[in-house]
């Protein structure tokens, strides 16, 4: 009987260890999910090319007129998107605020060579920032970083490298560790330090960030729960506005938020005086 118990325990331990090993090996494939077979699409928006520090060629789309001393929004997309899918959103940003919007692409996405990883995301973001600074001549005081979902973590890490005028996060997650906990693998928190290859930690970074942090989140988000967005905003050393859009999920915050969303985003880009929004039904703003 004891022998059978030992065999059972050993089998469970081996199986669990195998799961942890698989998680260590493939977690960046879970985090970064370039859409397969993205349909070719002709866009009239200007595409620019540049290189990361490790020599990988990248590109971005520039929407609107980039004029010296005017805001430039550097916008990072989510894990299963491509940058050109954000062009309609960026066009609305330009129309609503007059800002120029730059949409960088990650390596491994939309035909770019390379493999997307945690380390590579930092190289790619810094390359985009260098292009915006050196070629578009955008001063840090006029830069706004925007990130949606995974892009919120990429934007936050870039902000810790060079703080912008404002850090604008749509549907952000608090940390890679907390997202890992949502996999419901018992004991993962205990072994996270051993298996983690992705170290995004937005809550920790915003605690010391000099830039104001603006957060929008849908209260029906099933991918990243709204509690994470609230936690990121609460942790921020310098707070912008918090916009909670009722009945919005992970990808429809702008559409359902309506006027409230565009007022929130325009305030961040302009650098309006801070007023904290606790909650807002679609199309409205609610003061604290």
- The angle at the Cα of 71, spanning 70 to 74, to the nearest 5 degrees, equals 140
Which are the contacts of 86, defined by CB distance < 8 A and separation ≥ 6?
75, 77, 103
* C-alpha count within 13 angstroms, C-beta hemisphere, residue 117: 11
Which residue is associated with the tokens 């002709």? 42
- CATH class of domain segment(s) 2-34+44-270: alpha beta
Mean of the per-residue pLDDT values of the chain: 85
pLDDT higher at 119 or 288: 119
CB count within 10 Å of CB 21 equals 11
Q: What is the pLDDT of residues 177-236, one digit of tens each?
A: 887 775 555 545 555 555 666 789 999 999 999 999 999 999 999 999 999 999 999 999
Q: What is the pTM of this model?
A: 0.85
State yes or no: pLDDT of 266 exceeds 50. Answer: yes
Taking residues 156-179, report their average pLDDT. 94
Taking residues 130-142, report their average pLDDT. 93
State yes or no: pLDDT of 1 exceeds 80. Answer: no
Label residue 140 by pLDDT band (50, 70, 90). Answer: confident
Can you tell me the distance from the alpha carbon of 56 to that of 188, in angstroms, rounded to the nearest whole number?
34
| Chain centroid, CA 94 distance in Å | 20
Q: Is the dihedral of CA 244, 121, 156, 264 positive or negative?
A: negative
What are the domain boundaries of the chain? 2-34+44-270
Between the two ends of the chain, the Cα-to-Cα distance in Å is: 64
């Amino acid at each position: 009987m004891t022998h059978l118990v030992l065999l059972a325990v050993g089998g469970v331990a081996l199986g669990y260890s195998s799961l942890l090993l698989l998680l260590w090996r493939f977690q960046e494939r879970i985090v970064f999910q370039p859409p397969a077979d993205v349909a070719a699409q002709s866009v009239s928006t200007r595409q620019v090319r540049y290189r990361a520090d490790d020599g990988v060629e990248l590109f971005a789309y520039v929407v609107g007129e980039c004029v010296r001393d005017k805001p430039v929004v550097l916008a990072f997309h989510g894990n299963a998107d491509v940058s050109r899918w954000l062009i309609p959103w960026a066009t609305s940003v330009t129309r609503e605020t007059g800002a120029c919007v730059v949409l960088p692409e990650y390596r491994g996405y939309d035909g770019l060579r390379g493999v997307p990883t945690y380390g590579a995301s930092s190289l790619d973001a810094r390359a985009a920032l260098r292009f915006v600074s050196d070629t578009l001549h955008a001063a840090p005081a006029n830069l706004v970083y925007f990130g949606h979902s995974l892009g919120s973590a990429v934007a936050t890490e870039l902000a810790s490298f060079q703080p912008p005028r404002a850090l604008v996060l749509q549907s952000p997650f608090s940390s890679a560790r907390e997202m890992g906990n949502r996999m419901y693998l018992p004991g993962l928190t205990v072994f996270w330090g051993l298996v983690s290859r992705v170290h995004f930690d937005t809550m920790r970074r915003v605690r010391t960030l000099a830039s104001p942090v603006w957060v929008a989140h849908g209260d029906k988000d099933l991918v990243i729960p709204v509690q994470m967005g609230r936690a990121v905003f609460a942790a921020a050393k310098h707070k912008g506005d918090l916009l909670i859009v009722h009945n919005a999920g992970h990808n429809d915050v702008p559409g359902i938020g309506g006027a409230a969303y565009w007022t929130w985003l325009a305030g961040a880009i302009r650098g309006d005086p801070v007023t904290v929004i606790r909650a807002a039904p679609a199309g409205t703003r609610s003061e604290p």
